[in-house]
Copies of this chain bind each other. A is one copy, B any other.
Amino acid sequence: MERLTIAGIQHACGPDRAANEATAFAMARLARERGATLICFQELFGAIYFPQRPGASEYFGWAEPIPGPATERLGALARELGATLIGSIFERAMGGLFYDCAVVIAPDGSLAGKWRKMHIPDGSGYFEKYYFTPGDTDYPVFAIGAGADAATGDALRLAVPTCWDQWFPEVARICALRGADLICYPTAIGSELDPALAGADTEEAWRTVMRGHAIANCVYVVAVNRVGIEGEIAFYGGSFVADPTGEGVARLDDRPGILLATIDPARLEFARRLSPFWRDRRPETYGTILTKGGR
């Protein structure tokens, strides 16, 4: 397995969707110049975070099929750069059925696969349950990079859950049990709008819970968040990479920027020898995980 440079593209979005995509693509080109061959965009990077408005049916007009125009443009960029891309798209599966969908685009421009966000939040400023149905793509893991086309089994393995998925330990665990080395979360998170729930440091909690996933699963974890003020929400950026021992190897602040980090297979192997958790798990005792609780 070879070392690989990953980039996260953190930017602000406005009402002009073409301009948002142009910004993101220009930053991706810069990231490629700096050595990145895996480039992750933020959640729904082509648009404002429209779920801030509850129940606004007009936004369904922004959704599109996959494959479709957005994946075509991502495919062309992937070919131009010779890089793997992670995009995030408002997907129209059929009339009345919409997903918040992350796509993996191979360097040849082909659609390597997709992850429909499995866990959908709802709450003040983040009214997603109206727009997105919970995903049905069953936690896929994708072979990428130099070894992806070989049958040697030494490709880097990538999973692309989205935003709210990042709070659920089950998601990272399933990805790791399926061989993931690297979990990238396109994200849109910012201020808490419910005054009764103000006062917690949600950015610190957000980062800590994902650093915990990195440690517990011996994987790299990457989160790519947006920045800027949209309506009532100040998106806090803070995109970061945590290595498989949970150490932060790169982190942005609340301004637009390119997150860059090296994914090092030797570090993955180190973590898995330091923390031999797989040996000691007791899945025969974990049945309660498959319940909702509350009994």
- Decide: B280 and A289 in contact? CB cutoff 8 A: no
Cα distance A205–B209 in the bound complex, in angstroms: 12
Pairwise interchain contact A293-B178, C-beta atoms closer than 8 A: yes
In A183-219, which residues have CB < 8 Å from any B CB?
A: 192, 196-197, 200-202, 204-205, 208-213, 215-216
Residues of B within 8 Å of A11, CB to CB, are none
Q: Is A2 an interface residue (CB 8 A)?
A: no
Out of B174, B204, B213, B277, name the residue touching A289 (CB < 8 Å).
Answer: B174
CB atoms of A200 and B245 under 8 A apart: yes
Residues of chain B with a CB closer than 8 A to A275's CB? 167
* B192 in contact with A246 (CB, 8 Å): no
Asked whether, in the complex, the Cβ of B286 is within 8 Å of the Cβ of A287, the reply is no
Which of A33-41, A118-126, A149-157, A251-259 binds B? Answer: A118-126
Taken together as a complex, chains A and B put the C-alpha atoms of A231 and B172 apart, in Å, by 37
Whether A164 sits at the interface, judged by CB under 8 Å, is yes
Which A residues form the contact surface with B (CB < 8 A)?
A: 118-121, 123, 134, 138-139, 164, 167-170, 172-174, 176-179, 192, 196-197, 200-202, 204-205, 208-213, 215-216, 245-247, 270-271, 273-278, 280-294
Smallest CB separation, A4 vs chain B (Å): 21
9 closest residue pairs by CB, A with B = A212-B212, A177-B293, A169-B169, A174-B288, A209-B215, A200-B245, A209-B212, A283-B290, A197-B274
Main SS class of interface, A: helix
Question: In the bound complex, what is the Cα–Cα distance between A171 and B281 (angstroms)?
Answer: 10
CB contacts (< 8 Å) of A201 on chain B: these are: 245, 247
Contacts of A212 in B (CB 8 A): 169, 208-213, 215-216
In the bound complex, how far is the Cα of B212 from the Cα of A203, in angstroms? 13
Tell me the complex Cα distance, A36–B212, Å. 29
Question: How far is B206's CA from A247's CA once the two chains are assembled, in angstroms?
Answer: 12
Sample of 18 more A-B contacts, CB < 8 Å, known A170-B286, A174-B289, A197-B274? A118-B285, A121-B280, A167-B275, A169-B212, A170-B281, A177-B294, A197-B270, A200-B274, A201-B245, A202-B274, A209-B216, A209-B246, A212-B212, A212-B215, A278-B294, A284-B290, A286-B289, A287-B290
Distance to closest chain B CB from A189 (angstroms) = 12
Neighbouring B residues of A168 by C-beta, 8 Å: 216, 277, 280-281
User: Quick one: which of B134, B138, B173 contacts A170, CB cutoff 8 A?
Assistant: B173
